[in-house]
A and B are shown apart, each in its own frame.
Chain A
């Protein structure tokens, strides 16, 4: 009986992302309900993943020592194994504060790149700003897991914000 109980608990764990405690708030601009992971550390960057009924926004603040980002700036995301990587463009403002966004549409189906972020380990990020200035960093194993968990958590909870 004990074995069955322990097995049930153990097997049920992977079905839920660890610590899916999201901040529930109202958007300060649109006043719409939104959810957010709050900022968490990824080496020389912090990341907050926010979702409302329309978008899922990855908001990085990169410690880039005065390097700037513009609309043409990109981030290259490398996944474990070396076979998968993709490049995303900055959807935020032109700034020299290290702010960088990429955004996915929130909808009934999950975009494949977003799904990859929730299912595959990210090994490194390479931000390419104005004048091709690069800021690269590798993620520690616990940060790889945290990023996957937070992304999975947001994907799951963001569906509840979709209009019926």
Chain B
């Protein structure tokens, strides 16, 4: 009898642990490892977006990239990955382990979200969402452009896309048009 109670107690204690283990999101390291592998195979670059469930501008960024007018272009040129950061206390379990450190490593700490990065398939950083007048990732960065919406933000975004993908004039026009709608 005592043994049965003990085993039931153990089960009661273990079930939540197992459930937590199941719901742990993959680490930043694993996400990037898979992304580089896929990018290498498909001759694309990796586009990483840091986001959170509460972040309206992050949802707008996704909606814009997945809009019928632009989706094909982004899918053809990038392996797109998301990492969850900055969640509220009750949703911390949604965050990808190591994502905050990864963002910090690439200058995104304290700059708000969405924050985005572009890498080549070998893990070399090509661009980030901080404004740069010349578009060079090694020159002095400005503020986070986040989800492009204003004329200046969209212009910078287009500059990055041109430098990290094959962007035809038609695609450029479509991306510009769609992201400018975000300002409304």
Contacts and interface: CB of A to CB of B under 8 A. Distances in A.
B34 A97 contact: yes
Interface stretch (A77-85, A86-94, A145-153): A86-94
Contact residues of A: prevailing secondary structure: loop
Interface residues of B, number: 21
A127 interface: no
A130 to B, nearest CB: 14
A91 B30 contact: yes
A99 B37 contact: yes
Contact residues of B: prevailing secondary structure: helix
A30 interface: yes
Interface of B: 21-23, 26, 28-34, 36-38, 98, 101-102, 105, 119, 122-123
17 contacts: A29-B29, A29-B33, A29-B98, A30-B98, A31-B105, A50-B33, A57-B29, A59-B30, A59-B33, A59-B34, A59-B37, A71-B23, A89-B22, A92-B26, A92-B30, A93-B31, A95-B34
Interface of A: 27-31, 50, 57, 59, 61, 71-72, 89, 91-93, 95, 97, 99, 101, 103
